[in-house]
Chains A and B, each alone.
Chain A
Amino acid sequence: MKEQPVLDVSKLPLHGMGIASPAWWGTCTFMLIEGSAFGLAIAVYFYLMSLAPHWPPDVPPPDLFAGTCLTVLLLASVVPNVLVSRWAQQRKLGKVRIGLVVMSLCGIAPLALRIFEFPAQHVNWDESAYGSIVWTILGLHTVHIITDLIDTLVLACLMFTRHGDNTRRYGDVEDNALYWNFVVIAWLPLYACIYWVPRL
């Protein structure tokens, strides 16, 4: 077919930010997938609970200390996270670099606390279905922390190279921050489920 130019797009930016970026949409879609998985894990938890005569079966409820500390820490990490995202939007390279280093630490610290969360459940994964689902929920969420931590570490390294000062990288930083917010928010219902539902 003969082509008739009716629209000139040469003035458009070479990369879209925020909702004009496919990567942003891809991140959201992955969050939908992961969110479905977390939702299912919670559904399985309640399903098993509905079958058990006592909940938790024959063990005390999990100790609150490690899990609550981790929750507070995760919530606190949202502050630097939002700041990094804002700095990335403003393309402030120096601040983004510092922010990513801080966020890397914010990814490592919960992992340290998570180590104490597993024994705090008073049950092993192979002792009962209760143990299995609690360990699985903790494991599933830990995988998400680790994934985002590695992503943050790689981005932090990247921002110190010549590739750093690029709108595309700032977009990556924003998407990474978005994903960390998701990791934090997804933890809240999981935390309520693991630590407070047995106390109801």
Chain B
Amino acid sequence: MTTERRSSAATDVDLDDAELDRQLDRTWAGRTSFWGAIAAVDHKVIARRYIVTAFVFLILGGMLALAMRIQLAQPEARFINADRYNQIFTMHGSNMMFLFAVPVMEAMAVYLVPLMVGTRNIAFPRLNAFSYWVFLAGGILLWISFALDTAPDVGWFAYVPLSGPEYGSGKRADVWAQMITFTELSALAVAVEIVVTVLKQRAPGMSLDRIPLLVWSMLVMAFVVIMAMPAIMFESSTLIMDRLVGTQFYNPAEGGDVLLWQHLFWFFGHPEVYIIFLPAVGMVSTILPTFVQRPIFGYLPVVMALIATGVLAFGLWVHHMFVIGLPRLAESFFTASSMAIAIPAGVQIFCWLATLWAGRPIFKTPLLFVIGFIITFVIGGLTGVMVASVPFDAQVHDTYFVVAHFHYVLIGGAVFPLIAGIYYWFPKMTGRMMSERLGQWSFWLIFVGFNLTFFPMHILGLQGMPRRIYTYQPEMPWGGLNLFISLSAVILFSGFLVFFIDVARSWSAGRPAGQNPWNASTLEWAMNSPPPPYNFRRIPVVDARDPLWCGSDELPVASGLRTDRRELLISSVVEALPEARESSPRDSVWPFWAAIATSIMLIWSIFSPWAIVWGSIPIAITLIGWFWPKGIAEDES
């Protein structure tokens, strides 16, 4: 690298806006051909694919729920047989947790975090593309196996010994385990990107105390992913090993232990709830201030609550295992820690209420879903405190009470904020507004339909109806409520239908949104909608927590970045002082091939341990192709 070349490199200094846009577009835009689409590494493109794919899985999972509700609407129904029903409830849970909830939340982070911290692409954009292809392959694996009648039938947590070599015949449990490996691999990859993007790519001046709350929540979520997901990957791998090569991890006859499975699963599984929930509260803390037009009340306590939730998430997994016969001290400890997590949740709720109280609420659709979230989540939280108590949990364990509880926290706590987030950021992502009229319809249908569907399940649970039964006898006192629930589910489904119709219509025919239709305060609203491939014409310089609410029409920016290569700013971790101009990788098809090679190896390894050996060779080749320097401008230093 010579000084001569440096001086000749094109920078954005002395360029007018139109010319700068043109040059940046030439450098950052991807090709429009088929292979151009395969090679894309723009975080917005990848995130859009993630979100659309995850919503397709939501629809598919919803269809399964509908099938179960038809089956349960009356006693002794013959719509679905027992074996198919086992597959369906396993698919529904696995699909919703691993193919919808976690990926869609991470996808929102992939889209929004780079925009909100003021950078041009996510860190490690090729890893990002790789993660999407791996996620897609995992989802396809699960659904193709369902079509072939070999879908997992062991519940979404696949407890041994049911899923072990003794009882889980065929390849059904292996499909479950390997789908886990696919999705957790992609989730871990995205977590790494989020951590590095937030720590190192923030706009100059965005010190830790100016990071938008959504970004804070995504950062904490990413760390929880990093600490929790290795547990489930370890577990899914050991399950496959027990089934394929005869290891004895979960075989009590040879010194293994079935409860080890539960410990490992819930050491991951409980933080998993917060992996879904933390991004959701981040969305709430971002949307709420916009619709009351004042900054959030209690920024610092909210950040502290996010971090505290992330830490406490690892200290309560055993409350899923209260009926296995634990020592009393352990039961007391995990009861206490389970109740303790209500404290950071409470802090946030009071901060939101104070924000609402102090502002002037504008009751648009996103705010409605946020308020719906607060109400529903409080109910789900209250039943959570109830089941945290050991004697109560022993009564309702494995009944519909638990089903009601976790749908309240997962749909109320995560899907409501997510839909609020879709209504809120749709204008940014597509450049078009969604319909306010249809939005109100979908909110009321979903909110009312949800509560009518899931509240009665508490009562069913108290009446003793167990989870995961494919039918029940007419003598049981459950028929009336089940019919009521199934009919209510139709209202809930119609609400989602209205939502999807609204999305489809608005995508092509919505009202143009402009830069900042909600008059929001964060950086993603500072550029055109949808954002150009390079996000920011010039990287913004931040001197306040709400950079767009500073009362000025001008955005302070940094100049001096090159336009002939993909370049962005690296800044220090705490104060976000600029440290370097770093290049951002160009489009590449190698992540796609690496994902194909990885998928072949993972699926092959369900059938033969030698897949690990031979299947790794193509992976190594694709990775070398991925990392080998191409001698382009991005490689200069």
A residues neighboring B (CB under 8 Å): 1-16, 19-22, 25-26, 29-30, 32-34, 36-37, 40-41, 44, 47-48, 51-52, 57, 125-133, 135-136, 150, 154, 158, 162-163, 166-169, 171
Contacts of A9 in B (CB 8 A): 204, 539, 558-561, 569, 578, 581
Please measure, in the bound complex, the distance between the C-alpha atom of A164 and the C-alpha atom of B257, giving whole angstroms.
Answer: 51
Residue of B nearest to A9 (CB): B560
Smallest Cβ distance from B520 to chain A, in angstroms?
13
Question: Within the complex, which residue of A25, A30, A34, A154 is in contact with B627, where a contact is CB–CB below 8 Å?
Answer: A154
When each residue 56-80 of chain B gets 1 if its CB lies under 8 Å from chain A and 0 otherwise, what string results? Answer: 0000000000000000000000000
Q: For B558, B578, B627, B637, which residue has the most chain A Cβ atoms within 10 angstroms?
A: B637
Contacts of B578 in A (CB 8 A): 7, 9, 12
Smallest Cβ distance from A79 to chain B, in angstroms?
27
Asked if residues A29 and B195 are in contact (CB atoms below 8 Å), the reply is: yes
Question: Within the complex, which residue of A40, A47, A129 is in contact with B254, where a contact is CB–CB below 8 Å?
Answer: A129
Contacts of B573 in A (CB 8 A): 19
Smallest Cβ distance from B427 to chain A, in angstroms?
16
Asked if residues B559 and A7 are in contact (CB atoms below 8 Å), the reply is: yes
Contacts of B526 in A (CB 8 A): 1
Asked if residues A128 and B196 are in contact (CB atoms below 8 Å), the reply is: no
Contacts of A15 in B (CB 8 A): 580, 582-583, 636-637
B515 contacts chain A at the CB level, 8 A cutoff: yes
Contacts of B569 in A (CB 8 A): 9, 12
Asked if residues B570 and A20 are in contact (CB atoms below 8 Å), the reply is: yes
Asked if residues A132 and B556 are in contact (CB atoms below 8 Å), the reply is: no
Smallest Cβ distance from B537 to chain A, in angstroms?
7
Asked if residues B124 and A3 are in contact (CB atoms below 8 Å), the reply is: no
* B218-235 contacts to A (CB < 8 Å): 226-227, 229-231, 233-234
Residue of B nearest to A52 (CB): B255
B144 contacts chain A at the CB level, 8 A cutoff: no
Contacts of B246 in A (CB 8 A): 125-126
Please measure, in the bound complex, the distance between the C-alpha atom of A28 and the C-alpha atom of B17, giving whole angstroms.
Answer: 39
Smallest Cβ distance from B353 to chain A, in angstroms?
32
Q: List 7 A-B contacts (CB under 8 A).
A: A16-B579, A33-B188, A37-B234, A51-B257, A129-B256, A129-B257, A154-B624
Contacts of A48 in B (CB 8 A): 255-257, 260
Contacts of A127 in B (CB 8 A): 248, 254
Asked if residues B195 and A25 are in contact (CB atoms below 8 Å), the reply is: yes
Tell me the interface secondary structure of chain B in the complex. Answer: mixed
Contacts of B538 in A (CB 8 A): 3, 5
Residue of B nearest to A18 (CB): B579
Please measure, in the bound complex, the distance between the C-alpha atom of A48 and the C-alpha atom of B260, giving whole angstroms.
Answer: 8
Contacts of A7 in B (CB 8 A): 204, 541, 556-559, 578
Asked if residues B559 and A14 are in contact (CB atoms below 8 Å), the reply is: no
Please measure, in the bound complex, the distance between the C-alpha atom of A129 and the C-alpha atom of B245, giving whole angstroms.
Answer: 13
Contacts of A29 in B (CB 8 A): 191-192, 195-196, 226
B201 contacts chain A at the CB level, 8 A cutoff: yes
Please measure, in the bound complex, the distance between the C-alpha atom of A186 and the C-alpha atom of B554, giving whole angstroms.
Answer: 51
Smallest Cβ distance from B553 to chain A, in angstroms?
6
Please measure, in the bound complex, the distance between the C-alpha atom of A169 and the C-alpha atom of B620, giving whole angstroms.
Answer: 19
Contacts of B254 in A (CB 8 A): 127-129
B247 contacts chain A at the CB level, 8 A cutoff: yes
Contacts of B560 in A (CB 8 A): 8-12
Asked if residues B231 and A20 are in contact (CB atoms below 8 Å), the reply is: no
B264 contacts chain A at the CB level, 8 A cutoff: yes
Asked if residues A6 and B635 are in contact (CB atoms below 8 Å), the reply is: no
Asked if residues B555 and A132 are in contact (CB atoms below 8 Å), the reply is: no
CB within 8 Å for A1 and B570 given contacts A16-B582, A129-B256: no
B186 contacts chain A at the CB level, 8 A cutoff: no
Tally of B interface residues using CB under 8 Å: 75
Contacts of A135 in B (CB 8 A): 247
Smallest Cβ distance from B100 to chain A, in angstroms?
23
Contacts of A6 in B (CB 8 A): 541, 556-558
Question: Within the complex, which residue of B230, B241, B255 is in contact with A128, where a contact is CB–CB below 8 Å?
Answer: B255
Smallest Cβ distance from A88 to chain B, in angstroms?
13
Contacts of B583 in A (CB 8 A): 14-15
Residue of B nearest to A47 (CB): B260
Known: A1-B548, A154-B624. 14 other contacts (CB 8 A): A3-B557, A7-B204, A7-B578, A25-B195, A25-B199, A33-B192, A33-B226, A33-B230, A40-B234, A48-B256, A48-B260, A125-B246, A129-B249, A132-B241
Asked if residues A10 and B580 are in contact (CB atoms below 8 Å), the reply is: no
Asked if residues B570 and A16 are in contact (CB atoms below 8 Å), the reply is: yes
Please measure, in the bound complex, the distance between the C-alpha atom of A127 and the C-alpha atom of B255, giving whole angstroms.
Answer: 10
The 9 closest A-B pairs by CB, nearest first: A10-B560, A16-B580, A15-B637, A126-B246, A167-B637, A129-B255, A132-B247, A129-B256, A20-B579
Contacts of A133 in B (CB 8 A): 249
* B597-637 contacts to A (CB < 8 Å): 620, 624, 627-629, 631, 635-637
Question: Within the complex, which residue of A13, A57, A126, A169 is in contact with B581, where a contact is CB–CB below 8 Å?
Answer: A13
Please measure, in the bound complex, the distance between the C-alpha atom of A1 and the C-alpha atom of B1, giving whole angstroms.
Answer: 36
Please measure, in the bound complex, the distance between the C-alpha atom of A103 and the C-alpha atom of B192, giving whole angstroms.
Answer: 27
Q: For A29, A34, A37, A47, which residue has the most chain B Cβ atoms within 10 angstroms?
A: A29
Residue of B nearest to A49 (CB): B255
Asked if residues B264 and A36 are in contact (CB atoms below 8 Å), the reply is: no
Contacts of B196 in A (CB 8 A): 22, 25-26, 29
Asked if residues B248 and A10 are in contact (CB atoms below 8 Å), the reply is: no
Asked if residues B230 and A37 are in contact (CB atoms below 8 Å), the reply is: yes
Please measure, in the bound complex, the distance between the C-alpha atom of A150 and the C-alpha atom of B241, giving whole angstroms.
Answer: 25
Contacts of B48 in A (CB 8 A): none
Asked if residues B260 and A1 are in contact (CB atoms below 8 Å), the reply is: no
B440 contacts chain A at the CB level, 8 A cutoff: no
Asked if residues A5 and B557 are in contact (CB atoms below 8 Å), the reply is: yes
B337 contacts chain A at the CB level, 8 A cutoff: no
Smallest Cβ distance from A10 to chain B, in angstroms?
3
Please measure, in the bound complex, the distance between the C-alpha atom of A27 and the C-alpha atom of B227, giving whole angstroms.
Answer: 15
Question: Within the complex, which residue of B192, B581, B628 is in contact with A14, where a contact is CB–CB below 8 Å?
Answer: B581
Please measure, in the bound complex, the distance between the C-alpha atom of A166 and the C-alpha atom of B582, giving whole angstroms.
Answer: 14
B251 contacts chain A at the CB level, 8 A cutoff: yes
Please measure, in the bound complex, the distance between the C-alpha atom of A9 and the C-alpha atom of B205, giving whole angstroms.
Answer: 13
Smallest Cβ distance from A168 to chain B, in angstroms?
4
Asked if residues B580 and A14 are in contact (CB atoms below 8 Å), the reply is: yes
B178 contacts chain A at the CB level, 8 A cutoff: no
Please measure, in the bound complex, the distance between the C-alpha atom of A13 and the C-alpha atom of B430, giving whole angstroms.
Answer: 36
Contacts of A168 in B (CB 8 A): 629, 635, 637
* B20-68 contacts to A (CB < 8 Å): none
